[in-house]
Amino acid sequence: MRRLLAGLATGTFLLATAACGSSGSSSSTSPSSGGTTTVKVGIIPIVDVAPLYLGQKEGFFSKRGLKLSMTLAQGGAAIVPGVTSGQFQFGFSNMTSLMIAQSSNVPVQAIANGVASTGVAGKDFGGLVVKKGSSITSPKQLEGKKVAVNTLKNINETAVRESVRKAGGDPDKVQFVELAFDQMPAALDKGQIDAAMAVEPALATMKLQGATEIASPLVDVAENLTVAMYFTSTSYAQKNPGVVTKFQAAVAESLSYADAHPDEVRQIVTTYTKTPADVLAKVTLPKWPAEANRSSIETLEKLSEQDGLFKTAPDLDKLLP
């Protein structure tokens, strides 16, 4: 036994040193084999990224010599540091986070469209809901009420504030609380919050439980709002313009394909999420235009600036493709 323990100890030490020795070299290079470049993409396991999975399946990436290695990052907080430190070559992030990053000089660059609002009020993939039987029927009535958003001072808070403003209310009187999407149904049901700004599949779950949608905040922000984009680090874009161009083209093709094949989207979503079938059937799919909508991003920027999200205004010319 003692000998075994001693052996174990030496073995682990060798392992530890070996692990340390390799840590510096492997992170920066993108491994390639036989003309295929493998790129790591940091994503969140939600419906929004379905086009990447579909595109991979349909061969839109492989025919351009790209192979995607999806890395699921919970909540997305790990994606921006992961991309800037070179752990991922590409990442998926909402526009507000990208603009905040850019305005604080984090070297990121949006390169391809990610996901857009449907632009149809009441039929969007994000919605502001109240509990079944609630007396609140308009965002204006949220003054003095508790509204849950997944992240404070980010895209969903900006959007809800705009809905309140458009309905004639004062957004500063709304009490925003931070709550993960998956916890919103229970919190709304128990009355811990008065309203929730949720995206799919939490939105469909709440609607199945009888919650009422009182606004489509992402639609209220701007027509056909670009909600999220794929991005890379400025240094990766400079060093690998070829890979970036191929990725852009493959993503654009995947987005168009996903937009035209909603049934295949619902099917592929089951391969990387565990969304229950009854919820998935009710999920409102987003729009996947091939190109980002710059004017909608400018509107979002103006609203975010008004709400005090930036210390200095982001440079959209530098950020956007």
Partner 1 sequence: MKEVKGLNTVLGAAGLAAFLALGEAVPRLGLVKADYFPPTSRIARALGTELADKAFWSALGDTLTGWAVGLAVAVGAGIVAGVVISVVPHLREATASTIEFLRPIPSVALIPLAILLYGTELRSVLLLVVYASFWQVLIQVMYGVQDVDPVAEETARSYGLGTWARVRHVLWPTALPYVMTGVRLAAAVALILTITAELVIGAPGLGQQIAVAQASQAVPDMYALIVVTGLLGLVINVGARSVERRALAWHQSVRGEVAV
Closest CB to partner 1 among residues 20, 317: 20
Closest CB to partner 1 among residues 1, 133: 1
Number of H helices, E strands in the chain: 14, 11
Applying CB under 8 A, which residues contact partner 1?
A: 1-2, 5, 8-13, 15-16, 19, 23, 27, 40, 42, 44-46, 71-74, 78, 81-82, 85, 87-88, 180-182, 185-186, 189, 201-202, 204-205, 209, 272-276, 279
State the burial class of residue 62 (Cβ atoms within 10 Å of its Cβ: 0-12, 13-18, 19+): middle
**Closest separation between CB of residue 75 and partner 1, Å?**
8
**Closest separation between CB of residue 25 and partner 1, Å?**
13
Closest CB to partner 1 among residues 82, 171: 82
**Closest separation between CB of residue 293 and partner 1, Å?**
26
Q: How many CB atoms lie within 10 A of CB 202?
A: 24
Closest of 245, 227, 217, 63 to residue 149, by C-alpha: 217
Closest of 74, 95, 242 to residue 82, by C-alpha: 74
d(CA 234, CA 250): 20
Q: Are the C-beta atoms of 240 and 163 separated by less than 8 Å?
A: no
**Closest separation between CB of residue 152 and partner 1, Å?**
19
In whole angstroms, how far apart are CA 168 and each of 3, 135, 141, 165, 234? 77, 18, 9, 5, 41
**Closest separation between CB of residue 122 and partner 1, Å?**
21
**Closest separation between CB of residue 228 and partner 1, Å?**
15
Closest CB to partner 1 among residues 91, 139: 91
Closest CB to partner 1 among residues 82, 139: 82
**How many angstroms separate the most distant Cα atoms in the chain?**
77
Give φ, ψ of 128 to 5 degrees: -100, 115
Closest CB to partner 1 among residues 48, 194: 48
